[in-house]
A = this chain, B = another copy of it.
Amino acid sequence: MKNLNLIEPKTLSGFMELEPSRQRLFNAVLDTIRHSFEAYSFLPIDTPVIEYSSVLNAKAGEETQKQIYRFLKGDTDMSLRFDLTVPLAKYVAKNYHNLTFPFRRYQIGKVYRGERPQKGRFREFYQADIDIVGDGALSIFCDAEIPSIIAGVFKSLGFNDFTIMLSNRKILQGFLESLKLQEKTTAIGTVLDKLKKIGIEKVKEELVKLDIKKSAIDKITKFISIAGTTNEQISILNSQFSALDSQLFTDGVNELQQVIDGIRAFGISDKNFQIDLSIIRGLDYYTGTVFETFIMGHESVGSVCSGGRYGNLAGLYIDKQLPGVGISIGVTRLFDKLESELAKNLKPTPSSDVLVVSADNNITSLIPIAMKLKELGLSPLLFLEDTKLKKKFQYAEKLNIPFMVIIGENERETNTITLKNLNSGKQLEQIALKEVHKIIIDFYN
């Protein structure tokens, strides 16, 4: 009789929910990122998914406000976090007296943004963030260390061909100042930030709308397009010091020069980074070095890791100057866009090495054999159901388990096992249990 009162088991749209084999790959990505962060001595924190709305929304813009999942529980106004930076700011302010600065923390976790559902946009997604937060001051060398961490992460993920684009916001700011456009910095920045998406002609059109003279627009677009090797770019910038006469510009170029010297000292090849003066990032937030990261051959994915230097992390919560530098990886989006590449690069091992089955449904006799295989360092899976041998083969195949140990009357009598390689179809009989480990290990190598 059909049950007519069933509830449809549906998942909210914009929420990624994977089948187990894909989830294993996703977890391998998370683990790889985490291990890279830990190799650079970042410490973990894990802040709540829910915070007081007053804490979380203190500085959120109108667009973000609309996206926030906010609700009352009893009398308490609470919200789900929409990034890991605001919770970090809260955490550092709250624990200021117990933390050791420079505070190097990583956090990997889900964040929530109720955006309009569209392909490739997620309402629940993982971010993986690192930040180095100083107390009062923070060395410019920290900015230089960041690209070596980005390189470490993406090399571990199997992407050797990546470019870290960097700039220093003071440079563009100083340049606009010299054009007497300092009051339009934010508006111009917002336009330039769209360069890679909309192209230079549209950027020019939008700058016209900001009531900027054609001559200034030409200067700006020429400026952000300064090309050449890194050293050539730096020379061009240096040569403009006296003409521009902007301390901000000079400071920015000098900082950028130091960061680049540092990046090279950290062993990052010039082919993996590049100055790009059109990089802007979060307009109110970053104050110096800014980064974006592109995977070559997959530039259309956009930046896979972005961040930069900020002057003060937690000014909303504490009366201390806490400058920092950090980056964020949108892991769910990265996975969504580059899953097949990641699968090739990370090649997750099977969840089990060997399925242990009975040829005659004598299940009890299987258990000590599986236990022994486990002791030998293998990852055996016991098939405990009473069913046909054919179904057991299908089970191993569906789960991509490479080997099967088969035990029947013969094997029990001779105290041996039958081992089948499910990839080659080759079957070995009368094998001593202790030989299985070597055969399977040889298969992997």
Contact = CB atoms under 8 A, between A and B. Distances in A.
Interface in A42-58: 42-52, 54-55, 58
Interface string A1-43: 0110011111110011111110110110000000000110111
A315 B9 CA distance: 11
A145 B382 contact: yes
A315 B380 CA distance: 31
Given A78-B12, A93-B9, A44 B27 contact: yes
A405 B50 CA distance: 42
14 contacts: A6-B318, A7-B316, A8-B317, A9-B94, A17-B46, A20-B44, A26-B46, A38-B379, A41-B352, A50-B112, A73-B114, A74-B114, A134-B385, A141-B382
B54 A7 contact: yes
Nearest to A139: B384
How many copies of this chain sit in the oligomeric assembly? 2
Contacts of A385: 102, 134, 137-139
A217 interface: no
B94 A371 contact: no
A51 B14 CA distance: 11
Nearest to A370: B266
A159 interface: no
Given A23-B44, A54-B7, A112-B50, A12 B76 contact: yes
Nearest to A317: B9
A118 interface: no
Contacts of A26: 46
Contacts of A275: none
A363 B395 contact: no
Nearest to A104: B381
Contacts of A72: 71
A12 B51 contact: yes
Contacts of A38: 351, 379
Interface residues of A, number: 97
Contact of A364 (B3, B6, B112, B261): B261
A271 to B, nearest CB: 18
Contacts of A317: 6-9
A374 interface: yes
Interface in A150-184: none
A262 interface: yes
A121 interface: no
A126 to B, nearest CB: 9
Contacts of A139: 363, 384-386
A241 interface: no
Contact of A23 (B12, B46, B399): B46
Given A44-B24, A47-B17, A319-B2, A7 B98 contact: no
A444 to B, nearest CB: 17
A393 interface: no
Nearest to A21: B43
